[in-house]
Chains A and B, each alone.
Chain A
Amino acid sequence: MDIVGVLVLLLVCVFTAADGWRGLSSASSPRVCVVGGGPAGFYTAQQLLKARQDALVDIYERLPVPFGLVRFGVAPDHPEVKNVINTFTQTAHHERCSFHGNVNVGRDVSVEELRQAYHAVVLSNGAEANRPMGIPGENLSGVFAAKDFVGWYNGIPANKELCPDLSCETAVILGQGNVALDVARILLSPLDMLKATDITQHALNALAGSGVRRVLIVGRRGPLQIACTIKELRELGNLPNTRPELLLGDLEGIEETLKDLPRPRKRLTELLLKAVNGGDNKAEKSWSFRFCRSPVEVLAGADGKRAAGIRLALNKLEGSGENVRAVPTDQLEDVNCGLIISSIGYKSILIDPAVPFDPRRSVVPNDMGRVQDAPGLYCSGWVKRGPTGVIATTMNDSFDTAHVILQDMESGLLDLSIKKPGAQAISGLLQTRGVRTVLFSEWEKINAEEERRGKPHGKPREKLLDVEEMLQIAWSSRIMDILTFLVLLLVCVFTAADGVRTVLFSEWEKINAEEERRGKPHGKPREKLLDVEEMLQIGWS
């Protein structure tokens, strides 16, 4: 029986590795491929798997680690937001879902190849680039894109060597969305609030020596147009030893407009008004919003290399409500600061020249998730809608795309009578190109290692920052597993062939019991058996 068990396991192992396993079991199932293992990818997969009992979904992810911005964007002091990872993990464990990490779609495999291999391909590759400010001095040292700064404290491999200099007193953040507020909060939080999070150790060390005391959050438009959500603003207001330093004049006349505002905007504005009047005067640190200002130029210090300030143009506002436009005036204002973080938005990039792309809006042009002029190609998440909205927004948006795909399957727009090879074909291609994938079970090894490294520091995990190291951990253990199986198999085969029969631990326990029984009448803990034959007889009895 043991031999059979090991054999079966070995077979499963070999077959799943080659992905021929599912190929055997379901010949004419709809096969869907998702590009990107972030929230959009996982939510789209989840809905497809749930709605169609025959659908097979493969997720291809560029990095060896899943979850996209939940891992690399969401702030370390928002662990509760990361609970969604549990749902994604369930999806990844679904018997009809498989995760293939370390596959860069567009480079390792083309979207066209995926379309050949699958009935439907869903682009869920998020928004990975930063919108540049497009102003002189943007490349001076001390100026960072929020995406990179966030990547530095959240462990994006490409940002591990950012080493921002935090010795200055004033930091300016351009943009007033949630990312801007996340960055402000990380810069101003007492270390104690970050210590036990999954923030990278190098960021924690740098923040420990930070001289930043004052953070200005600058926006093009007015207080009624700030893009952050109320939860983030409330958190900023609640930071210990930190006070808001808002200019009363900036909020003048706003109170009268309150009653006409929709509830979310109204509550946000009320909180802002409360912040103007509140605050602990003894606080050593401060944050503040500056409205109606656009960056014009980053000013260099004496050495000509480092940023020492930023020149802002004062804007006047035209129009009303959410559609207000900022128009620059010729009034300028210089602000001294040693750290400048531009948080004016993420943007999607074109991952494959064959994919339709709207360069102006930086999204894949689509109708409810159906990519324009590309039957069988869909999109969900930030690449579909643009880089705004919380995970719940991305979730609903991904469910919508999944519904559209399901409809197209039912209506025959997607021809399911054509048999598609799915992962089998793609694995083959990847193999010939020397690309080795990271399976979800292999990510779980990385995960375990990260958790192990975090433990001594009281952190939920210490993220690995090096892709090579991730791969090493993911794969080395896999080879070990297969080797162990092989050794076990060999041992079983040989022992069976040689007529050698083993004594299991449960069988030893029978021997043990017998020894104890025999010792008892003599007041001894046991009377040891001296004869191997007798031991075996009792063990196997």
Chain B
Amino acid sequence: MMVTRPLHTLPKLCSQSPQNGSSGSKVLVHFVNQSGMKSSVFVTEGESLLDAVIKKNLDISGFGACEGTLACSTCHLIFEESVYDKLEQTVDEEIDMLDLAYGLTKTSRLGCQVTVNCWMDGMTVCVPQEIKDQRGKQEAQSSK
């Protein structure tokens, strides 16, 4: 059972991305994976963040296990507060799954439920960091 979300109603204002404003449909998103590694990709507007991770083959272990059907919470992403506040309302079924997510924060959402919009240009989303035992590695990458 796929929960469909209403399409974004925000106006298409790509003012934050003058460098690629010409295309209008490519949005720059930075992903930080479990081990703190950052990948920056251009995502087509209207795609979900899960689509982006799959299409760009980003190195995020176990991401999107249920393939976007709101049944797993493995597509959990942490947003910057300013971006989070502007996101579409979260439906109950998404919060149900989020409540089970590993490393839940106040600005957590499920990547399969968030559609990329041009106003998000330049945003950074993070996967919850892996266990603390990885001290050595983690310190080097602690910059968000």
User: Which residues of chain A have a CB within 8 Å of any CB of chain B?
Assistant: 43, 46-47, 50, 78, 80-81, 83-84, 86-87, 229-231, 234, 263-264, 267, 368, 390-393, 395-396, 399-400, 403-404, 407
Contact = CB atoms under 8 A, between A and B. Distances in A.
A80 to B, nearest CB: 4
B41 interface: no
10 contacts: A47-B61, A230-B99, A231-B93, A234-B96, A390-B73, A391-B72, A392-B102, A393-B100, A395-B74, A403-B130
B80 interface: no
Q: Which of B34, B92, B131 has the most CB of A within 10 A?
A: B131
B6 interface: no
A87 B72 CA distance: 13
Contacts of A390: 72-73, 100
Interface residues of B, number: 27
Contact of A80 (B62, B70, B100, B134): B70
A42 B48 CA distance: 26
Given A83-B66, A400-B131, A403-B130, A46 B71 contact: no
Nearest to B103: A396
Nearest to B92: A234
B95 interface: yes
B47 interface: no
Given A80-B1, A230-B96, A230-B99, A392 B65 contact: yes
A399 B100 CA distance: 17
Contacts of A368: 131, 133
Contacts of B70: 80
Nearest to A264: B99
A87 B133 contact: no
A368 B6 CA distance: 42
A390 B97 CA distance: 10
A78 B62 CA distance: 19
B101 interface: yes
A391 B65 contact: yes
A84 to B, nearest CB: 5
B65 A87 contact: yes
B66 A81 contact: yes
Contact of A267 (B72, B99, B102): B99
A84 B72 CA distance: 9
A65 B51 CA distance: 30
Contacts of B102: 392-393, 396
Contacts of A264: 99-100
A210 B131 CA distance: 48
Interface string B93-116: 101110111100000000000000
B65 A83 contact: yes
A50 B131 CA distance: 18
Given A80-B1, A86-B67, A264-B100, A392 B92 contact: no
B141 interface: no
Interface string B55-78: 000000110011101111110000
Contacts of B1: 80
Nearest to B95: A267
B69 A83 contact: yes
Given A231-B93, A392-B101, A404-B133, A81 B72 contact: yes
B72 A263 contact: no
Given A393-B102, A399-B61, A231 B67 contact: no
Nearest to B101: A392
Contacts of B73: 390, 392
Contacts of B131: 368, 400, 403
Nearest to A389: B100
Contacts of B71: 78, 80-81, 83
A395 B65 contact: yes
A215 B124 CA distance: 48
A392 B103 CA distance: 12
Contact of A229 (B62, B69, B96, B134): B96
A392 B65 CA distance: 8
B26 to A, nearest CB: 28
A392 B100 contact: yes
A62 B1 CA distance: 32
A264 B79 CA distance: 20
Contacts of B95: 267
Contacts of B67: 80, 83, 86
B96 A392 contact: no
